[in-house]
Amino acid sequence: MTTSPLKTLATYLVGEFENKAQAAADPSWYVHLRLWQRPIPSLSDSDTFTMLLEQASPVSDKPPYRQRVLQLTEQSGQIQGEYFALKNPLQFRGAGTQPALLNAITADDLVSLPNSTAHIQYQSVGAADYRFQSKLPEGKFCSFEYGKQRKYVYLGFDIEKKHSVLELKTYDKGINPDTGQGLWGALMGPFVLLKQDSYRWN
């Protein structure tokens, strides 16, 4: 039976990713990152796939950071990805390697964010694979409160199989809303992360 594009995307995205080769080749612009994208079963069903994202540097002793939630749905044939913040990120810090922390998460733990819904396009590749591209609407930036200040961020990714390995390109970057200039993140092009481990949705 053919797997739907939505379920395929959800399967592609959950797992552990790393950009070790990119960071070694260009350390001035790309920090070595490990990214975890963990399923949240309590907020998922056959038509909705919700995951917690967090990242860390394998060469640093700093704790994971940038906790956020991504929820995938499909409406009238259009796949969408909506990002949420967490009311208490520290409560779920470390869930990338300790998924049991997510057993307690509920919809009440999520914070809706302005301009946080991305449109996800896809193309068939071969008999059973897909190439996905996620973008926020043109000229729109997601915003959130941090340190009593409003921050703005562009969120986007591409994911596809290359030589039987899933490659995730992330375009996330902080934005100056007055100039549109990038402040941090993927300033010189996307972070290119290869999938190291896969997680299951059940």
The set of residues, in sequence order, having a beta carbon less than 8 Å from that of 33 and lying 6+ positions away, is: 18, 19, 23, 55, 56, 57, 191, 193
Q: What distance in Å separates the CA atoms of residue 151 and residue 175, rounded to the nearest whole number?
A: 8
**pLDDT confidence of residue 180:** 86
In angstroms and rounded to an integer, the radius of gyration of the C-alpha atoms of the chain is 16
Over residues 112-165, the pLDDT tens digits come to 999 999 999 999 998 779 999 999 998 889 998 887 889 999 999 999 999 899
The pLDDT, as a whole number, for residue 147 is: 78
* pLDDT score, position 1: 53
Q: State how many domains the chain has.
A: 1
List the domain range (segments joined by +) for residue 49.
Answer: 5-198
Report the pLDDT averaged over residues 46-65.
94
Question: Residue 161: which CATH number?
Answer: 2.40.128.590
Mean pLDDT of the chain: 94
User: pLDDT category, 61, cuts 50, 70, 90?
Assistant: confident
Q: How many whole angstroms separate alpha carbon 100 and alpha carbon 38?
A: 10
Q: What is the pLDDT of residues 13-40, one digit of tens each?
A: 999 999 999 999 999 999 999 999 999 9
pLDDT value of position 123: 95
For range 50-69, the mean pLDDT:
94
Non-local (6+) Cβ contacts of 61 within 8 A are: none
The first and second tokens of residue 154, run together, are 């562009």
pLDDT mean over 156-176? 95
**Structural element, H or E, at residue 160:** strand 156-162
pLDDT at 148: 83
> pLDDT tens, 82-112?
999 999 999 999 999 999 999 999 999 999 9
Indicate if the pLDDT at residue 68 is higher than 70: yes
pLDDT value at residue 127: 77
